[in-house]
Structure 1
Amino acid sequence: MFANVIATLFRMDDQTWRGHANPWCVWTRLTVAPLLLLSVWSRVWLGWWSLIPIAIALLWNWYNARLFSPPQSTDNWASKGVLGERVWINRHQVSIPTHHYTFPHFLAGLAAVGSVIAICGLWALNLPLTLLGLLLLYMGKLWFFDRMVWLYEDMKTATPEYTSWLY
């Protein structure tokens, strides 16, 4: 459900999803969390002016999915992870195998715990705590993403639409 809210908030239509499947989009998206954390931390040096880099980091988060054109091929790990995210979001309309249900929730929870720890670190200006949170966030996010590759591999022939995504 949370993934559906994010997809709606980001207005992820078919064209945006195609560009988001570009490996360059996937890899450059990994810059969002460090940029956001650094922007929030900059309140120490910039005061209220830190809202500018925070806004830029949030804008980059939104714009990144729209920046890249569709890839020449989706037959790669990064693209399949994005395709798996689409399958995951659509799991209430097209059932997925039961072995794909539990662990992604755990990994999303790990990423959420990492986010909370990073926020606490930012609040306290505690660099080790902030970095621990970032590490847990990325561990959960990237492992979740890898599970989405597996999900897509298992589901790529489930519907003609899913099959058409792989080229």
Structure 2
Amino acid sequence: MNAAAAVHGMSGETWKRHANPWSVWTRFAAIPAFELAVWSRQWLGWWCLAAVVAVVVWLWLNVRLFKPVAPISWAARGIYGEQLHVDGRFPAEHRRTLNWLIASGLAGFVLIAWGLIVLQVWPLTLGTVMLVLAQLWRIDRYGLLFQQHLRERAPEDTACGKQSDCR
């Protein structure tokens, strides 16, 4: 988790921007875009790398482009919960479930990779479904745990800082 956050250069401000639902949902839209970019090697040859690079650049820019938001939406609460996990401020009793969700997403990613390597639709589709469902469930779990964090802490001690800082 920390490695992915480091690659994206996630700062406090970046997390606030990434919590914007537009950021969350457009990152989901990048999954089929990336798959199509890789699959297009069949038609475009090495030029498919331009499309792959475009998707990778989008994923890096995505967490910076949208305006910061308070944790009021489902997606925003999930991202603020993810920040708690990355920062090591996450209840230990929930780690097993999150580890299973992460493992499920990784299994989906492996199927996606296999489908893209051999150009087979069924592992690509199954892997995409597994990855998306694991991500959605993980965001939901993070959101619930973020709400638990808010109930247990003073309002000033949120991942967002003071609520007014997020607007």
Q: 2:49 aligns with which of 43, 48, 51?
A: 51
Q: 2:117 aligns with which of 120, 123, 128?
A: 123
Tell me, yes or no, if structure 1 residue 158 matches structure 2 residue 153. Answer: yes
Distance in 2 (alpha carbons) for counterparts of 1:166 and 1:37: 38
Offset of 1:153 from its aligned partner? 1.0
> Percent identity over the alignment?
34
Structure 1 unaligned segments of length 5 or more: list them. none
Relative distance call for 1:16 and 1:97 in structure 2 (3 A) is: closer
Does the residue aligned with 1:31 lie in a helix, a strand or coil?
helix
Distance in 1 (alpha carbons) for counterparts of 2:122 and 2:157: 45
**Aligned twin of 2:80:** 83
Q: Is the 8 A contact 1:83 1:165 kept in 2?
A: no
**Aligned twin of 1:21:** 19
**Aligned twin of 1:35:** 33
Distance in 1 (alpha carbons) for counterparts of 2:142 and 2:162: 14
Does the residue aligned with 1:101 lie in a helix, a strand or coil?
helix
Q: CA RMSD in A?
A: 1.5
TM-score normalised over the length of structure 2: 0.90
Offset of 1:77 from its aligned partner? 0.6
Structure 2 unaligned segments of length 5 or more: list them. none
Offset of 1:18 from its aligned partner? 1.1
Q: Show structure 1 runs of 4+ deviating over 6 A.
A: none
Distance in 1 (alpha carbons) for counterparts of 2:142 and 2:81: 4
